[in-house]
């Protein structure tokens, strides 16, 4: 949690709550320590396995922190208790934000550790995919270049994939983040959101969207990093 403490000091803010997407150590490991440092700290999440959890949230539940409004979106699959958080401020010119944890990545989606292709399909099409198109996607990891290399294997003719990959490589070289993207962009280059597109179906040899997603995930899990 030390990086977070540094940011809190630098920004001169008060830490009141933590929204945890899932229990994996690389997303929740600092919770206990922060809870000790900040008595009364609220820790929100949907899984009992989340460290220092104080408030269990449910799908569709709305929270308010000052002017910030949060809608909890339950997306089980990567873990059985995965929750995404959609945030906005009323009357703000800024686009809303989605903190998607390990469900939706820039150019990819999370592994199906504790769930099924059916669940991930529901997550991506009915829950996250229906959010406003200008929503900024803040995912849990920087694996954009690797994801887009796979996307290029799936759709070698997709110009948006080529453009985004070139951009992401440049950002990587300059040690700059590739996050956030927007939901609108993701539909143009993320194969896991493009399961009804003919080139993606051709790559998987399937037409049923859930089967296309299942095959994509299997191929992605076995995807070896191509030589530069």
Q: Which residues are catalytic?
A: 22, 24, 26-27, 78, 102, 141
As a whole number of angstroms, the distance between CA 200 and CA 37 comes to 49
Q: Write the DSSP assignment of 19-59 as a string of letters.
A: E-S---HHHHTTHHHHHHHSTT-EEEES-TTSTT--EE--T
DSSP 111: -
Residue 221 burial class via C-beta count within 10 angstroms: exposed 0-12, middle 13-18, buried 19 and up = exposed
Calculate the dihedral angle through the C-alpha atoms of 89, 92, 93, 98, rounding to the nearest 10 degrees: 0
Q: Nearest to residue 181, comparing CAs of 208, 147, 149?
A: 147
Q: Nearest to residue 168, comparing CAs of 182, 158, 178, 157?
A: 178
H or E segment to which residue 156 belongs? none
């Amino acid at each position: 949690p030390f990086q977070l403490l540094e940011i809190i000091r630098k920004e001169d803010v008060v830490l009141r709550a933590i929204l945890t997407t899932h229990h994996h150590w690389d997303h929740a490991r600092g919770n206990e320590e922060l809870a000790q440092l900040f008595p009364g700290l609220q820790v929100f999440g949907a899984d009992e396995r989340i460290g220092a959890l104080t408030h269990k949230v449910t799908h569709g539940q709305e929270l308010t922190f000052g002017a910030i409004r949060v809608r909890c979106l339950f997306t089980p699959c990567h873990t059985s208790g995965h929750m995404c958080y959609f945030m906005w401020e009323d009357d703000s010119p800024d686009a809303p934000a989605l903190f998607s944890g390990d469900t939706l990545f820039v150019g990819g989606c999370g592994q199906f550790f504790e769930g099924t292709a059916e669940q991930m399909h529901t997550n991506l099409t009915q829950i996250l995919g229906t959010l406003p198109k200008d929503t900024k996607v803040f995912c849990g990891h920087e694996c954009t270049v690797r994801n887009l290399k796979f996307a290029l294997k799936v759709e070698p003719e997709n110009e948006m994939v080529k453009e985004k990959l070139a951009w992401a490589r440049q950002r990587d070289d300059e040690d700059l983040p590739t996050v956030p993207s927007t939901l609108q962009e993701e539909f143009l280059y993320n194969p896991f959101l493009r399961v009804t597109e003919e080139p993606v179906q051709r790559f998987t040899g399937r037409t049923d969207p859930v089967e296309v997603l299942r095959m994509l995930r299997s191929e992605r899990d076995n995807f070896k990093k191509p030589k530069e």
